[in-house]
Structure 1
Amino acid sequence: MTWFGGSNNGFAFEIFSVSHFVMISLLFLGSLGIFLQREKMKGQRWRQVEVGIAISLIVMEVGYHLWMFTNGIWNASFSLPLELCSLSLILTVILLLTKNKYVYEILLFTALLGATQALLTPLLHHDFPHFRYFHFFYTHLMMIWVAFYFTWAKGYKPSILSVIRLFFYLNVLMPLVMLINKLVSGNYMFLSHKPTTASLLDFLGPYPWYILSLEGLLIILSLIVWLIFRGKKEKNTN
C-alpha cells in the first residue's frame, strides 16, 4: 500500500503547503483548547487518557521503526533515537507514565524549543496521507501538548534550576552523541553539519561555530520560557 511504502512518489512533502498549514493550525488550536479547558482536565479520570496517549506514542514509534525495517531504509546513521525530538518523545512517554517533575522540566524546554521548531520547518519527505506524515506530526504535536497539559492542567512549573538542569543534561549528552555520530557517520542533533533543508541553524554561522551559537541561543530562549511559565511564588520573590 502506497501510504505505508518507502517511496514518497505522490507523497512528497512541501514546507508551508496546505497539509503543513493544517498541522500548524492544529498546533495552535490544540494548545488553545488545552489552556481553555485546563480546569476540566484536573480530575483523576484523566489518568486513563495519559496512559492511553503514552501507549499510542509507543505504538507509533515502534510502527515507524518497523516501517523503516520493512522498506529497507533503517540505518544506524539516522534511525537511532538520538535526535532532540526523539529524546523528547521518550521523555513525553516517561512523563505521562510517571508524572515525574524533573522529566517535565526537561521536556518543557525541549518540546517548546525543539519540537516547535521541527513543526515549523519539518525535515520530512512524505506528505499526507502517508504513514510517516501522521507519525511525524502526531508525535511532535503530542510532545508540545503534553508539556502544556502538565503546565496548565496539572500545575507543574519550571524553576530557574530547571534551566540549569537542561543545560547540564544537554551538555552531558552532546559529547556522547558526537561520538556516536563519528562511529555511524551520522548527524544526530545536527552536531556534524547543518540540515540540508532550511532551519534556524542557517542564521547561526558555519560549522562548528553554529553549535556554540546554538548553546547561547538555548540559554536565552530557555530563560524566556522560564519567565513565561514560572510559578507565582517565583514571580513574587523576584
Structure 2
Amino acid sequence: MDWFGVNTLNYPFTIFSAQHMITLFVFFCGCCILYLLRNKLPTRNMRTVELAVAVSLFLFEILFHLWQIKNDIWFTYQSLPLDLCSIGLILCVLLLFSGNKWIYELLLFIALLGATQAILTPVLDFGFPHFRFLHFFYTHIVMVWTVLYFTWSKHYRPTLRSVVKIIIFLNLLFPIILFTNHLTGGNYMFLRQKPESASLLDYLGPHPWYILSLEVLLVGLSLLVWFIFKEKSKRHIHQKT
C-alpha cells in the first residue's frame, strides 16, 4: 500500500483508537523521561542532539510540502505555514539552532497550549504508518519535548512579561491570518470555522464568538503555564534544600 499517497482508506485514523493511545503513551513517557533526566542531561554535550533534532524537523516539514505537491494537494488555502503549530514548528527549529530566550518564551505557550491540544485531539485523516501520521505526531510531540527540555534541563523560565509577549504576538498575527483566509478562502488557525473533528473549540461557543472565548482562554491558560513553570523563589528553593 502507498504510505505516501492520499487514500485514507488504506490508513484510516480514529481519535483515541489503539494507534492514537499508543502515541499518547509514547508522548507522556517522553515527558516523564525528560523530567527524570533533567539534572543529568546538562552534564552531557547535547548540542549535537539539538542540531540533529532541528534538522530532522526541518526535513520532515520539507517532505510534508513535497508530499502535498506530489499528490496535487498543495494549495494556498491550506498549505501555507500559518497554522499555530506550523508557526510553532518554525520557532522550534530556530530555538534549537539559536537557544534564543525570546523564541523560547513564545514557543513555550504555543507548544503547551497548542501542540498538546493537537496531540490529544488531532485534526488528522491518516493513520499509522502513513507519512502524514508520522509527520503530524513527530513534529507536534517534539515541539512539546523541546520546550520541556529547555525548561527543565537548560533552566529557561517564563516570566509575566512572557505572557504579555505571547498575547501581543498572537494578536499581531490574527489580522494577518484573517486577511490571508479572506484572500485564499482558507481556515488558518480555525478563524473562519471550527474543525469538523472534535476539538476544544466545540466548547467555546459558535462562530465568531469562540474567537473571543479563545482570547480569554489564552490569557487564563498562559498565566497558568507561567505559574507552573516560573522561576522558583530563592526562599522556596532554600526551604526545599
TM-score category, normalised to shorter length: over 0.9
Question: What secondary structure does 2:39 align onto?
Answer: helix
Which AA in structure 2 matches 1:146? T
**Per-residue deviation at 1:9?**
2.1
Cross-structure match for 2:224: 224
Give me the whole-angstrom Cα distance separating, in 1, the residues matched to 2:125 and 2:42. Answer: 38
Q: Please show how residues 1-238 of structure 1 align to structure 2 within 5 Å.
A: 2-43=2-43, 45-233=45-233
Question: What secondary structure does 1:4 align onto?
Answer: coil
Q: Structure 1 stretches (4+) deviating beyond 3 angstroms?
A: 233-236
Give me the whole-angstrom Cα distance separating, in 2, the residues matched to 1:190 and 1:57. Answer: 24
**Per-residue deviation at 1:43?**
3.4
Cross-structure match for 2:239: none
Give me the whole-angstrom Cα distance separating, in 1, the residues matched to 2:178 and 2:67. Answer: 27
Q: Specify whether residues 215 and 185 from structure 1 end up closer, same or farther in structure 2 by C-alpha distance, changes over 3 A only.
A: same
**Per-residue deviation at 1:233?**
3.4
**Per-residue deviation at 1:8?**
1.5
**Per-residue deviation at 1:27?**
1.1
Give me the whole-angstrom Cα distance separating, in 1, the residues matched to 2:130 and 2:23. Answer: 14
Give me the whole-angstrom Cα distance separating, in 2, the residues matched to 1:101 and 1:44. Answer: 21
Q: Specify whether residues 235 and 160 from structure 1 end up closer, same or farther in structure 2 by C-alpha distance, changes over 3 A only.
A: farther
**Per-residue deviation at 1:41?**
1.1
Give me the whole-angstrom Cα distance separating, in 2, the residues matched to 1:234 and 1:98. Answer: 28
| Structure 1 runs not aligned, ≥5 long | none
Q: State whether residues 6 and 73 of structure 1, in contact with CA within 8 Å, keep that contact through their aligned partners in structure 2.
A: no
Q: State whether residues 6 and 68 of structure 1, in contact with CA within 8 Å, keep that contact through their aligned partners in structure 2.
A: no
Which AA in structure 2 matches 1:199? S
**Per-residue deviation at 1:217?**
0.5
- Deviation per CA, 1:108-151: give whole Å up to 9, x if none: 10100000000011000000110111000000000000000000
| Structure 2 runs not aligned, ≥5 long | 237-241
Give me the whole-angstrom Cα distance separating, in 2, the residues matched to 1:143 and 1:67. Answer: 21
**Per-residue deviation at 1:235?**
8.4
Give the TM-score normalised by the residue count of structure 1: 0.97
Which AA in structure 1 matches 2:89? L
Give me the whole-angstrom Cα distance separating, in 2, the residues matched to 1:101 and 1:235. Answer: 25
Q: Percent identity?
A: 51
Which AA in structure 2 matches 1:154? K
Which AA in structure 2 matches 1:200? L
Question: What secondary structure does 2:220 align onto?
Answer: helix
CA RMSD of aligned residues (A): 1.2
Give me the whole-angstrom Cα distance separating, in 2, the residues matched to 1:39 and 1:232. Answer: 16
Give the TM-score normalised by the residue count of structure 2: 0.96
- Deviation per CA, 1:168-193: give whole Å up to 9, x if none: 00000000000000000000001111
Q: Specify whether residues 235 and 178 from structure 1 end up closer, same or farther in structure 2 by C-alpha distance, changes over 3 A only.
A: farther
Question: What secondary structure does 1:77 align onto?
Answer: helix
Give me the whole-angstrom Cα distance separating, in 2, the residues matched to 1:234 and 1:4. Answer: 53
